[in-house]
Amino acid sequence: MRSWSFAKGHGTQNDFVLLVDPDGSLDLGADEVRWLCDRRAGVGGDGVLRAVRAAAVDDWQGDGALWFMDYRNADGSVAEMCGNGVRVFAHHLLAEGLLSGRRFDIATRAGVRPVEVLDGARYRVEMGPVRVEPGAVTVTAATGEGERSWPATAVDVGNPHAVVLLGPADPQLASLELHVAPRWRPADVFPEGVNVEFVRSVGERHLQMRVHERGSGETRSCGTGTVAAVAASARSVGAAVGTWRVDVPGGTVEVELAEGTSYLTGPAEVVAHGQVLLPTG
């Protein structure tokens, strides 16, 4: 039986199992990820964040001394990026003495993400450019009154999103049944799957959001999803830059759109440390 050291953390209740594996020696396959994220049989989480030195990552072309955030969805699939995860990842490495200072870079599959440490265990992450994609997309989701379809905006934040901007006549966010995965068409527009955000405006530059994340189901928060939601909402009102508040079931984050880039600010917390015994077979 294998015994691994782990920590458990969350950013606005988007929760993760954290593993520190500098040389990438842990045999972390899809089966191990699914078991770790199982909320009954394992530790429980929306995903796994493994800290690996970038030099040990295949195909990494940048600074090998950086810490690389190897992020896996709860179903074991590999993901490019996780905005809440970067904050929790940085917070954990700082607490363990593996990072220092108020500014540093984290390597991800979507590129390098600069991080700034703020007061009160809050972190500001530069998320890079956001691309609102052309083309028509339709999303269908379950509600308490049956299925409904909406036009959606495709947004790339280093990973794919489909953002539905709910209008006054649409169902309330609470009536959406996001334990059922939404569908989209054209079916081939997101060949690797997509995160689907449902967004309602509740004030000037103030949004509420729920999300179904590919590979994880409905989560209490999605960092890249909040950036996508702001980008789609900003375009709908003709705004280009500025700071928005986004309320998710797990808390509140701030998203700033700037010229050529974006920023996500929010909290991070580590709530447990321990040893986990992985089952054999």
Would you please indicate which residues are annotated as catalytic (active-site) residues? 82, 222
Q: Which phi and psi (to 5°) does residue 232 adopt?
A: -70, -40
Q: Which phi and psi (to 5°) does residue 121 adopt?
A: 55, 40
Residue 281 labelled as part of a binding site: no
Q: Among candidates 231, 216, 223, 214, which has minimal Cα distance to 248?
A: 223
Residue 200 labelled as part of a binding site: no
Query: Which residues fall within 8 angstroms of residue 119, CB to CB, at 6 or more apart?
Result: none
Residue 235 labelled as part of a binding site: no
Residue 120 labelled as part of a binding site: no
Residue 265 labelled as part of a binding site: no
Residue 84 labelled as part of a binding site: yes
Q: How far apart are CA 78 and CA 96, in angstroms?
A: 25
Three-class secondary structure of residue 255 per DSSP: strand
Q: Give buried/exposed letters for 107-126 (b at 16+ CB in 10 A, else e).
A: bbbbebbbbbbeeebbbbbb
| 160: its two tokens | 């794919």
Residue 102 labelled as part of a binding site: no
Residue 34 labelled as part of a binding site: no
Say if CB 31 and CB 267 are below 8 A apart: no
Say if CB 7 and CB 92 are below 8 A apart: yes
Residue 245 labelled as part of a binding site: no
Q: How far apart are CA 118 and CA 13, in angstroms?
A: 19
Residue 73 labelled as part of a binding site: yes
Q: How far is CA 7 from the centre of its chain?
A: 18
* Biggest alpha carbon–alpha carbon distance for the chain: 57
Residue list for the binding site: 14, 73, 83-84, 159, 195, 213-214, 223-224
Residue list for the binding site for substrate: 14, 73, 83-84, 159, 195, 213-214, 223-224
